[in-house]
C-alpha cells in the first residue's frame, strides 16, 4: 500500500520490502496505539439520550441524533450492504467540532441562586460519521488503515511541495536573468546620463545578489530529491515520524445542565478524543446506533422541507 500510493517506482529498489518494513511497522505501532485510546462505543439510541449525560452533551436533541445518522451518506451506504441486514446496531467514529465560550447565567452559590454569573459552556457541533462498520473492532481496524493512508498522503504532499518549490525557483531564476539581460541592453542607451547609469548598476547588483540566492536554493532543492532512492528516504522519514503527522489525546469535560462546565461533584464526565490529522483538529468518540431507529428522512429534514416546500 505504501509503495503503490506513494510511487510504484520504489519497487525498482533491490530489497525494497525488507528495507521499508521497519518504517511501516513503526507507523502501524503508533497508529494502533492512538486508535486503541479512542473512547467508546457510546450508545446513541433515543433511550440513551434521556439517560446518558454524555449523549445529552454531544447533541442538542434526540432529533439531531436521528438527523446525523439518517443523512450520513457513508452510514446509509453501509446499511444497504447485504451483510448489514442481520445487524441490530451500526458502529462508527463520530467526529465533531468543539467550542467553549463564556456566557452569563444562573448558578447556585451555597444556598443562594445568583444571576448573571459568568460560566463556561461547551458546545459540540458539525457531527460526522467516519468508517461505519458492523462492530467496534471493525471500526478501529478500518481507522488503522485510514491513519496509515494519511501518512502516505503526507509523504505525497511533501513530494508535491518540493516539486512546486523547485518549479517556483526555476521561474524566479528565469525572471531575474531576463531582467539582468534587459538592464545590460539598456546600459548603452544611458551612457550619457550618469545618474541613470548609477541607478541601473545598483539595480543590477541587487538582481545579481538575488539570483545568487535563488541559485543556491535551487541547487539545494535539486540535490534533495534527485533519485528514486531519495524518494524512498522521504517516505521512510515520514513513516518513522508518524507522531508529527497524526496524534490523539483523550480529554473530558465535566458538564452540568446546558453543557455548563462544573466541578466533578456537580456534573458528569463527557469523554472525547482530541484528534490531530495533519493540520486538522477534530474531536471524536466511537458510537453505536440501533438500526431500527434509522429513518429514511429525519424529522429535522421533514420540517425543513415543509418550510421551504421541497
Taking only the tens place, the pLDDT of each residue in 31-90 is: 999 999 999 999 999 999 989 999 999 999 999 999 999 999 999 999 999 999 999 999
Strand duo 280-290 + 89-109: pairing: antiparallel
Are 287 and 54 a contacting pair, CB within 8 Å? no
Separation of alpha carbons 239 and 2, rounded Å: 10
State yes or no: pLDDT of 117 exceeds 80: no
d(CA 204, CA 289): 70
Q: Distance between CA 40 and CA 140 in Å, rounded?
A: 11
The answer to whether 106 and 117 are in contact (CB under 8 A) is: yes
Backbone angles phi, psi at 130, to 5 degrees: -120, 135
Higher per-residue confidence, 114 vs 184: 184
Instruction: Tally Cβ neighbours within 10 Å of residue 245.
Output: 22
pLDDT, the chain, mean: 87
Kindly report the CA angle at 287 between 2 and 140, in degrees rounded to 5?
25
* Residue 279 pLDDT: 82
| pLDDT tops 70 at residue 261 | yes
Residues whose CB is less than 8 angstroms from the CB of residue 296 and which lie 6 or more positions away in sequence, other chains included: 70
Q: Encode pLDDT of 151-183 as tens digits.
A: 999 999 998 888 888 787 788 888 888 887 877
Q: Tell me the domain boundaries of the chain.
A: 18-147+244-308
Q: CB neighbours of 95 closer than 8 A, spacing ≥ 6? A: 127, 128, 130, 275, 282, 283, 284
Confidence class of residue 204 from pLDDT cuts 50, 70 and 90?
confident
Res. 24: pLDDT tops 70: yes
pTM: 0.78
Find, among 249, 296, 230, the residue nearest to 76 by Cα. 296
Mean pLDDT along residues 121-150: 95
Kindly provide the b/e burial profile for residues 169-205, where b requires at least 16 CB atoms within 10 angstroms of the residue's own CB: beebbeebeeebeeeeeeeeebeeeeeeeeebeeeee
Reply yes or no: is the peptide bond before residue 41 cis, omega within 30 of 0: yes
| Average confidence (pLDDT) over 111-131 | 85
* Residue 197 confidence class, pLDDT cut points 50, 70, 90: low
pLDDT at residue 178, as a whole number = 84
Q: For residue 209, what pLDDT band results from cuts at 50, 70 and 90? A: confident
Amino acid at each position: 500500500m505504501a509503495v503503490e500510493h506513494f510511487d510504484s517506482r520504489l519497487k525498482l529498489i533491490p530489497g525494497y520490502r525488507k528495507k521499508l518494513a521497519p518504517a511501516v511497522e513503526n507507523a502501524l505501532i503508533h497508529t494502533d496505539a492512538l486508535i486503541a485510546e479512542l473512547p467508546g462505543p457510546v450508545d446513541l439510541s433515543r433511550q440513551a439520550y434521556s439517560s446518558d449525560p454524555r449523549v445529552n452533551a454531544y447533541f442538542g436533541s434526540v432529533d439531531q441524533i436521528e438527523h446525523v445518522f439518517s443523512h450520513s451518506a457513508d452510514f446509509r451506504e453501509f446499511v444497504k450492504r447485504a451483510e448489514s441486514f442481520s445487524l441490530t446496531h451500526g458502529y462508527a467514529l463520530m467526529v465533531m467540532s468543539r467550542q467553549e465560550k463564556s456566557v452569563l447565567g444562573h448558578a447556585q452559590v451555597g444556598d443562594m441562586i445568583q444571576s448573571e454569573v459568568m460560566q463556561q459552556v461547551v458546545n459540540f457541533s458539525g457531527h460526522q460519521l467516519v468508517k461505519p462498520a458492523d462492530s467496534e473492532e471493525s471500526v478501529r481496524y478500518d481507522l488503522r488503515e485510514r491513519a496509515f493512508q494519511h501518512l502516505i498522503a503526507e509523504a505525497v504532499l511533501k513530494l508535491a511541495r518540493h516539486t512546486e518549490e523547485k518549479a517556483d525557483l526555476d521561474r524566479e531564476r528565469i525572471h531575474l536573468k531576463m531582467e539582468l539581460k534587459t538592464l545590460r541592453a539598456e546600459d548603452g542607451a544611458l551612457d550619457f546620463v550618469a545618474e541613470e547609469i548609477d541607478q541601473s548598476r545598483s539595480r543590477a547588483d541587487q538582481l545579481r545578489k538575488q539570483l545568487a540566492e535563488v541559485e543556491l536554493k535551487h541547487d539545494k532543492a535539486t540535490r534533495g530529491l534527485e533519485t528514486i532512492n531519495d524518494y524512498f528516504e522521504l517516505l521512510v522519514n515520514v513513516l518513522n515520524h508518524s507522531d508529527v503527522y497524526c496524534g490523539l489525546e483523550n480529554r473530558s469535560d465535566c458538564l452540568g445542565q446546558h453543557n455548563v462546565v462544573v466541578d466533578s461533584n456537580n456534573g458528569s464526565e463527557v469523554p472525547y478524543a482530541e484528534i490531530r490529522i495533519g493540520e486538522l483538529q477534530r474531536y471524536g468518540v466511537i458510537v453505536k446506533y440501533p438500526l431500527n431507529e434509522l429513518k429514511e428522512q429525519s424529522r429535522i429534514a421533514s420540517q425543513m422541507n415543509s418550510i421551504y416546500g421541497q
